[in-house]
Structure 1
């Protein structure tokens, strides 16, 4: 079994390996990443409206069109994640990748991915709603015993906002591999979510760092570009919209590929993959290889730091 160069199991190692895979099949990945375009375009051009003002000043037909566009963008985004994950996983294992094979994989991955995404979104929404109901109940109880509550207090809003963000980050970190599990292992729904939580044991910091890395840069990029687009001429607006959308597609592509690489590293650390692990500062030297891994012609040596 042929070994490649050593990979460092941290944020730099994950990003380096994902870039290597993308570079080796650059045209293939760029073509698949165009499926992110319906999502990236409004992220750059559309301001974030106040929901109440938006609903009161927009006619029903426009709202229906916007809902249809959101569904289309959501569908294309799931297709992009599925095909890029499929291609990245095959590239990681040293298997040949085919553009049409990646598209064909949607026939057996799209609906499981959609179901898993809906289940995860529903669970997160219910948890957020439960927290808001709990906070509301506590505030009403405090008010009923005679204390005055300032509902517009910055501290209350800050507490609620930070807690909501922490809840979403918690679920993201634990379930970040769920869609990869759907594509690679054909599990879906709660099975994929539980599998992701298991694989993330001991690697949650890596998932959090990936979230902060891509989330921070993409958020700053959108904030800067959105703030200046409305001041530009038509030609400049078109140019910077295309440029901004291209950068957003780049972020989404690399984020998806990095997540797939992280999945393979997590499997290796759990002794489930044909990846040799030199774990510095540990009593054991190599992970166990699962049955049938002798068919894999590619392996990666991973050094943890």
Structure 2
């Protein structure tokens, strides 16, 4: 039986175990990253430059009254880009989660079963992400309606509202902060939803409720992962997008500094996305351990391996000991 040192149920334990799984199957995760995460990372960095070029083309074309064709292109490209990002994002989530989940148990991690898992997980992931987006949209709409009602009531009561005043700006900031905190709260509670879709074959609103249950007692770790990778990925995309824009403006697309910046930025962003997805899967396993569900699965794993004698080295179960911090 393969064993690893005990890990505490905290951020460092999650990151350490995720790193161990990725390093143990480096070629497998590299292949998945090249297929799904590399195009996604490249598009996230290069799209601002593409959007700027499209805007310049739009401005030039409108000067010559070529409006209809340019309008179609101006709105179609962002929609196609969003669809591209969405599809590759779900593909990465499905395959990397599946691989990390099996790697956690020490099961064989193979390429074609991981790709095959995408077939069964894609549409459930679509339904779950749409359910989450619908809920967050309704919450945001409620806040905006509340804001509009308060403003209208103030005007009906005879108050003169100065939209450029400091008080109005502070009120808007307060509403925005409250909405942001509420959205973060739901994101923390739903952080395991996509993992649950892949590992438990649930879909729709059910993974959201299941995630909210499992994350109890581990919300601080979930929040830490959200803030850590959210900041790193957001900052890296912003920094490299600006650098690529500068290179494009000065030297053009064929310059070596531009290509080098693009390669480095895309590679590091791919690693961040890979470890973020893997860490979420490990967090799911640790949450199950905290709720006593992991011990049952490990017992079932031992039972299957005991029956299927003789043992193969690749089939020896892998056990990770976890305990609360």
Is the TM-score greater than 0.5? yes
Displacement after TM superposition at 1:160 (Å): 3.0
Q: 1:106 to 1:226 in 2, by over 3 A?
A: closer
Displacement after TM superposition at 1:293 (Å): 4.5
1:54-110 deviation per Cα after TM superposition (whole angstroms, max 9, x unaligned)? 9x9662123213312321221111011000000000000111100111001112111
TM-score, length-scaled by structure 1 = 0.87
Q: What corresponds to 2:21 in structure 1?
A: 21
Q: What corresponds to 1:124 in structure 2?
A: 136
Q: What corresponds to 1:42 in structure 2?
A: 43
1:249-271 deviation per Cα after TM superposition (whole angstroms, max 9, x unaligned)? 11111000000000000001101
Matched, 1:270 2:291: yes
**What secondary structure is seen at the aligned counterpart in 1 of 2:8?**
strand
Matched, 1:181 2:201: no
Q: 1:64 to 1:97 in 2, by over 3 A?
A: same
Displacement after TM superposition at 1:290 (Å): 7.7
1:141-152 equivalences in 2 (<5 Å): 141-152=153-164
Q: 1:159 to 1:45 in 2, by over 3 A?
A: farther
Q: What corresponds to 2:236 in structure 1?
A: 221
Q: What corresponds to 1:244 in structure 2?
A: 265
**What secondary structure is seen at the aligned counterpart in 2 of 1:59?**
helix
* CA distance in structure 2 between the partners assigned to 1:146 and 1:220 by the alignment: 45
Gaps of 5+ in 2: 60-69, 306-316
Q: What corresponds to 2:207 in structure 1?
A: 192
Q: Which moved more, 1:289-298 or 1:30-39?
A: 289-298
* CA distance in structure 2 between the partners assigned to 1:126 and 1:144 by the alignment: 26
Task: Judge conservation of contact 2:233–2:273 (CA < 8 Å) in 1.
Answer: no
Q: 1:289 to 1:251 in 2, by over 3 A?
A: closer
Task: Judge conservation of contact 1:273–1:293 (CA < 8 Å) in 2.
Answer: no
* CA distance in structure 2 between the partners assigned to 1:81 and 1:145 by the alignment: 52
Alignment size in residue pairs: 289
* CA distance in structure 2 between the partners assigned to 1:72 and 1:231 by the alignment: 25
**What secondary structure is seen at the aligned counterpart in 2 of 1:47?**
helix
Gaps of 5+ in 1: 275-287
Matched, 1:106 2:107: no
Q: What corresponds to 1:294 in structure 2?
A: 302
Q: What corresponds to 2:187 in structure 1?
A: 172
**What secondary structure is seen at the aligned counterpart in 2 of 1:130?**
helix
Structure 1 vs Structure 2 CA RMSD: 2.3
**What secondary structure is seen at the aligned counterpart in 1 of 2:293?**
coil
Task: Judge conservation of contact 1:116–1:189 (CA < 8 Å) in 2.
Answer: yes
Q: Greater Rg, structure 1 or structure 2?
A: 2
1:216-268 deviation per Cα after TM superposition (whole angstroms, max 9, x unaligned)? 12222223223333332332122212211111111111000000000000001
* CA distance in structure 2 between the partners assigned to 1:192 and 1:3 by the alignment: 30
TM-score, length-scaled by structure 2 = 0.82
Greater helix proportion: 2
Task: Judge conservation of contact 1:109–1:182 (CA < 8 Å) in 2.
Answer: yes
Q: What corresponds to 2:66 in structure 1?
A: none
